[in-house]
Copies of this chain bind each other. A is one copy, B any other.
Amino acid sequence: MELTRRETMLGALVTGVAASMPAQAKVPLSDKPAPGYYRYRVGEIEITAVNDGVSAMPITDDFVRNVSKAEVNKTLESLFMAPNVYAGPYNPILINTGRQLALVDTGTGEAGFTSSNGINGRLMLSLAAAGVDPKDIDVVIISHYHGDHINGLIKADGSLAFPNAEIAAPLDEHRFWMDDNEMSRAATPRIDATFKNARRVMTPDVLKRIRPYEAGKEVIAGVTAVSTPGHTPGHMSLVVASGSKSVYVQGDVTHAPWLFARNPGWHFMLDVDPVAAEATRRKVYDMLVAERMAVQGFHYPFPALGHVERTSTGYREVLVQWSPVL
């Protein structure tokens, strides 16, 4: 290959530039992560995923009740994830219909933020990054009464985190967890703790703002509730629809899809009724596959939007590519 005139210039010029390299970069290393929000449109409705962080839950022997810890760890290894820990993302979403701004689920709350692992309880940071003041939220829609969905309703001092919002809660879910007779029959310490946590969060101020909602009806205009019981007795999903577009907001129909959508027969320790949860999961995912419908999953990897394909053993999430524009 013949040297060009331009190339001949290179040797002479490079030394001078390289010699001027600084001993320290002008931009210091940062401790600041990227903001945890992501915005997209469903027809005329705007959805913003607002990340609350990621769990660091130890994988116990009963993490999946019908599968060994060794098999869970083997799966995590195949996914290039650390063993013995469940890094499950928490992704509440904002739904702005133009007329109302709704927050779906509230994350692990201020208490989560100060927990030892320190990587959850970040919803308020993500809301601020997205330019949303908690006072501006008109309605909080709760999918179910597990702590990572309701704890963020109150601040560390017990006051309302979203002081101007009504709180739309599934009627059957509220009935179950607030029923003292049901609590007295709690099958496991974990379920008993969920009853007690619901009483901690459902302060008089919270209860005053609760509006129960039911399946088959709109919670707010454009957002319809769908009954998806099993994970908890009154667990609800939502269909957000505008024009010809829609997205299925699944709540905890599956926990992290890389485990529980790919293995729909795995019974997660937090499923109150694992058999009903599996039946719901298969029904919803069969529908998502048949309809090629987009799904927004609370425990999907941020920004937590995808589709679902069928595999020989279950389903696989196909995440939507990040778009640089709405």
Contact = CB atoms under 8 A, between A and B. Distances in A.
Interface of A: 1-4, 6-7, 9-10, 13-14, 17-18, 21-39, 44, 46, 51, 53-54, 78-81, 87, 89, 96-101, 118-120, 122, 130-133, 136, 138-139, 166, 174-176, 178-182, 202, 207-212, 292, 294, 301-303, 307, 309, 318-326
A87 B323 CA distance: 10
A201 to B, nearest CB: 12
B26 A138 contact: yes
A210 B139 CA distance: 57
A116 to B, nearest CB: 14
A30 B46 contact: yes
A325 B80 CA distance: 18
A80 B34 CA distance: 27
Nearest to A91: B322
B99 A23 contact: yes
B96 A25 contact: yes
A321 B76 CA distance: 13
Nearest to A34: B38
B100 A22 contact: yes
Nearest to A165: B17
A90 to B, nearest CB: 9
